[in-house]
Amino acid sequence: MSTSITQDSDGVTIYEDEPSMLLLLLLTITTNFQNVASSMTMKHTT
């Protein structure tokens, strides 16, 4: 499995491979979890 690494103009390292997709998926899950946690907190507060 090969990973091509490129840098954009801002100097941010971009991994053009599946791990970046996994990272995006993880970010989505984390965001959804935070939304669920905040709504649960709202219910506990009221």
- H helix runs in the chain, sequence order: 18-45
Q: How confident is the model at residue 43 (pLDDT cuts 50, 70, 90)?
A: confident
* Whether the predicted model's global pTM rises above the 0.75 cut: no
Measured distance CA(10)–CA(14) in Å, rounded: 11
Query: Taking 80 as the threshold, does the pLDDT of residue 27 lie above it?
Result: yes
Q: pLDDT value at position 40?
A: 84
Give tens-digit pLDDT for 12-23.
665 566 677 788
